[in-house]
Amino acid sequence: MYQYKGLEDTIAAIITPVGMGGVGVVRLSGKDSFVILERIFFGRSGASPKTWKTFSVHHGWVKTASGDVLDEVLVTLMRAPKSYTCEDVIEISGHGGPAAVRALLELCLVNGARLAQPGEFTKRAFLNGRIDLAQAEAVLDVISARTDAALRACERQLKGDLSVELEQLRAQLLTVLADIEAVLNFPEDDTQSLQAERLTGNIRRVRERLTALLATVQSGRILKEGIKVVICGKPNVGKSSLLNALLRAPRAIVTDVAGTTRDVLEEMANIDGIPVNLVDTAGILTPRDKIEEEAVRRSRASVDSADIVLLVLDQSRPLENTDRDLLALIKNPHTIIVLNKADLPVIVENKFDVAAVNVSALTRSGLDELRQAMLKMALGAQGFDGRGLVINDMRHAESLRRADEALARVSAEASLEFAAEDIKAAVNELDAITGRYVDDDVIEHIFEKFCIGK
């Protein structure tokens, strides 16, 4: 059982972003939320906060112990258990200047609240049974989602779609386990029939569903982390122009002078809902000084770690030894040759053994084909349709793999006792995802990744 000290405390934190803003919000959660509010809030109506209806909003002023008005605010009330944390929750909305919202938080702290730990509001929602661990992790993913497609995938998990799926698989495994226990306790029953119909059939169906979920891991990782696409090539072939064209914005400096880019430049693009991290590198050449030496080192490191490499060639000029050296140097199997400057007379023909696309960064021709080639290379021929569950968390993926491995052993076991242990191991792995069975250290690691206000 997870040991959490501090559940009886009333906690407070700023839940709006740090910096200048129109509104700043401080949240209180815990049994003393109303007590603290009564000490600092003076409402226009004069009624005690304890008499307010849940989900109501009230106008008034926050005052210090000496009676000085700190701010004019709106107070939103959510009574337990119908709140984010399943506790009494108060949200005080004041003016959003850093000094004003910080002073409001400090006033709550001196009147009995404790500063919330990172992710503590969501942790309380988990511990109080409002959400499971998979849904809690989805909260962080929703906050950090960078595209609409990624957001939709995270919202499905937050809604509980993954948890419902895992509970169904868990129920099927527990049914098989119950049948095995019955046979072990009453051996005179028909064991052969059990193994053939219940055990084998149910285990196969569960494994089929696990396989389907695991098949989405690559798409889930890409939705969450994005595709790292590195643009490389010799100087003055149009790498920076290609970056700007893909971004639809003049992000990189473009001139006729070779070697304009002397560092690694990274920007995020949204391609059909998939986050793509575009990296423009310095021309890979023999460095002339220490600055270019470091730029070349970073460029090569980026190429080595890329999901996809776009090797840019100038198709309006004959290939040079530098181009051929680059073709030999790039070892990444996920390489697309980009034959740039298609708006000029073509000299270099598209006769390469790897994927190649003709484009013009100037006129934007061929860019749609390049975008689709990148997505196909990253996602596979099946692509990503944005529907259904995707596994976007590596912790979940590892648990699903271990569950499948345990069930794969079941059919090979010589006895039902060993089969039962493997099924129990698979159930524990599913429970580790939802939080029913998980180490305390895992829970702490998950929530410490959150910001303090969530």
Per-position DSSP letters for 188-209, written without gaps between them: TS-HHHIIIIIIHHHHHHHHHH
- Residue 32: per-residue pLDDT: 95
> What residues does each domain of the chain span?
11-132, 137-216+393-435, 223-379
Q: What is the DSSP string of 75-118?
A: EEEE-TTSSSSSS-EEEEEEE--HHHHHHHHHHHHHTT-EEPPT
Contact residues for 65 (Cβ-Cβ < 8 A; gap 6+): none
- Residue 380: per-residue pLDDT: 77
Architecture (CATH level 2) of domain 137-216+393-435 = Up-down Bundle (1.20)
Q: Is the fold of 11-132 the same as that of 223-379?
A: no
C-beta of residue 333 within 8 angstroms of C-beta of residue 210: no
- Beta strands (DSSP E) in 294-383 are 308-314, 335-340, 356-358
What six digits make up the tokens of 172?
């099927």
Running along the chain, 454 residues long, what does each successive block of 10 average in pLDDT? 76 91 94 94 86 92 90 95 95 92 95 94 93 93 87 89 95 89 69 61 92 91 89 86 83 47 74 88 63 67 82 88 78 85 83 84 92 87 71 94 94 77 94 89 87 86
Which residue, among 372, 307, 330, 305, has the nearest Cα to 234 in the 3D structure?
330
Kind and range of the H or E run holding 43: strand 41-43
Other Cβ atoms closer than 10 A to 3: 6
CA 437 to chain centre: 23
C-beta of residue 88 within 8 angstroms of C-beta of residue 17: no
CATH class, domain 11-132, is alpha beta
Q: What angle do CA 412, 413, 416 make, to 5 degrees?
A: 135
Contact residues for 56 (Cβ-Cβ < 8 A; gap 6+): 76, 77
Residue with tokens 């003076």: 42
Choose which CATH entry (2.102.10.10, 3.40.1390.20, 3.40.50.300, 2.60.40.10) describes domain 223-379. 3.40.50.300
Q: What angle do CA 59, 65, 70 make, to 5 degrees?
A: 45
- Beta strands (DSSP E) in 315-396 are 335-340, 356-358
**pTM exceeds 0.85:** no
Which residue, among 314, 279, 313, has the nearest Cα to 299 in the 3D structure?
279
Rg of the chain (C-alpha set): 29
Residue with tokens 């580790």: 432
Nearest-angstrom CA–CA distance, 26 and 46:
22
C-beta of residue 360 within 8 angstroms of C-beta of residue 342: yes
Other Cβ atoms closer than 10 A to 382: 9
Peptide bond before 81: cis, by omega within 30 degrees of 0? yes
